Amino acid sequence: MGAPRAPPRSWAGGKEHAMDTIGYVGLGAMGGRMAGRLLDLGNRVYGTNRTRAKAEPLIERGLTWCATPREVAAAAQVVFSMVTDDAALESITSGPDGILAGLGPGKIYIDMSTVSPVAGSAISDQARGTGAHMLAAPVSGSVHAVEQGSLAIMVGGDTESFHAVEPLLRQLGPQVTHVGGNAEALLLKLAINDSLAAQLLAFCEGVLLAERGGVDRKKAIEVMNGSAIGSPSLRARADFLLDPLAEPWFDVVLMQKDIRLALATADSLGVALPAAQVTDAMLSKARELGYADRDIAIMIEVLQQVPAPGRG
């Protein structure tokens, strides 16, 4: 079909073009909140989801429901998606009702899912064949960050398309960084989640060690978070270590999916990830104990049920 057309120059600064016709496919915990934020900021949003029930609150707030991802892509100039894994991305993009079937010259497709670099690059190539541009834009941040508009977004894809939609992305978070191609953005997201999981596991170990020695858990968390090891992600999860029944921001199943993507990618690159291997084993233990849908802070409960060396 030839080379994709450059996006209209007016998108870079004109809300009436870039931000007036937005599509969102995948209205789950993260995607639904992002679509809701875009609606609340005055954008016209078309959307669809595997189950319409999850979208009803957004429809009441003004989202225009579409029956298929293709309809969303056909109606919108900028199309977002957020799904769980490679298989789900393939499901919403391929076939006669998929996003790719609704794309065309000049449109921009932004996938915010955490998927493998291989899968993301393959979809990008197919989008290019329609005349559209595709950006990978995985995010760092939880549902809380979406609601606050404080996501960090790493973007991969051609520079001109990035600049065209950067103002729109900044409605979702202040830290929007172009990092290279689609694969690089996805690789960086896996690197972040690898580190996040390892940090949290080590933090839980420290809290449990202090607690078993007689330190109040709440006090241990406060002191540790106020020390040199404190980080925004650890401080944000303090309440989860005190109330493990709280609604999850990032559940065990999704984190293990990302860790295993990181391990597979590292294997192809010849990089050792020993911390990721340990984390993967502990996440498997969490699932065995029935914690699959709990926030990853549940690792402190898992550690309490793992016998210490020599005591098993």
Q: What is the pLDDT of residues 203-221, one digit of tens each?
A: 999 999 999 999 999 999 9
What's the CA gap between 4 and 139, in Å, rounded?
Answer: 26
Average pLDDT over the chain reads 91
pLDDT at residue number 142: 84
- State the pLDDT confidence band at 16, using cuts at 50, 70 and 90: very low
pLDDT at residue number 200: 96
Residue 53 has pLDDT above 50, yes or no: yes
CA 274 to chain centroid: 23
Query: What are the residues whose beta carbons fall under 8 Å from the beta carbon of 64, sequence distance 6 or more?
Result: 44, 45, 46, 47, 75
What percent of the chain clears pLDDT 90, i.e. is strictly above it? 81
Mean pLDDT of 25-50: 94
What's the CA gap between 52 and 91, in Å, rounded?
Answer: 17
Task: Provide the Cα torsion 251, 254, 259, 264; round to 10°.
Answer: 170
Mean pLDDT of 224-230: 94
Residue 226 has pLDDT above 70, yes or no: yes
For residue 237 the two structure tokens come to 């999860």
What are residue 47's phi and psi, to 5 degrees?
-155, 165
What's the CA gap between 210 and 263, in Å, rounded?
Answer: 31
Q: How many CA atoms within 13 Å lie on the side-chain side of 216?
A: 4
What's the CA gap between 258 and 140, in Å, rounded?
Answer: 12
Task: Please state whether the predicted TM-score (pTM) of the whole model is above 0.85.
Answer: yes
- Tens-place pLDDT, residues 175-210: 999 999 999 999 999 999 999 999 999 999 999 999
Worst-scoring range by mean pLDDT, 71-75, 114-118, 216-220, 307-311?
A: 307-311
- State the pLDDT confidence band at 20, using cuts at 50, 70 and 90: low
For residue 87 the two structure tokens come to 């298989």
Cβ proximity of 199 and 233 under 8 Å: yes
Mean pLDDT of 88-109: 96
Residue 10 has pLDDT above 70, yes or no: no
Give how far Cα 238 sits from Cα of 254, 298, 312, Å: 20, 11, 29
pLDDT at residue number 243: 85
Query: What are the residues whose beta carbons fall under 8 Å from the beta carbon of 76, sequence distance 6 or more?
Result: 21, 22, 23, 46, 107
Higher pLDDT, 148 or 284: 284
Cβ proximity of 168 and 78 under 8 Å: yes
What's the CA gap between 118 and 182, in Å, rounded?
Answer: 9
- Tens-place pLDDT, residues 257-277: 999 999 999 999 999 999 999
pLDDT at residue number 39: 94
pLDDT at residue number 123: 95
Residue 126 has pLDDT above 90, yes or no: yes
For residue 62 the two structure tokens come to 């003004």
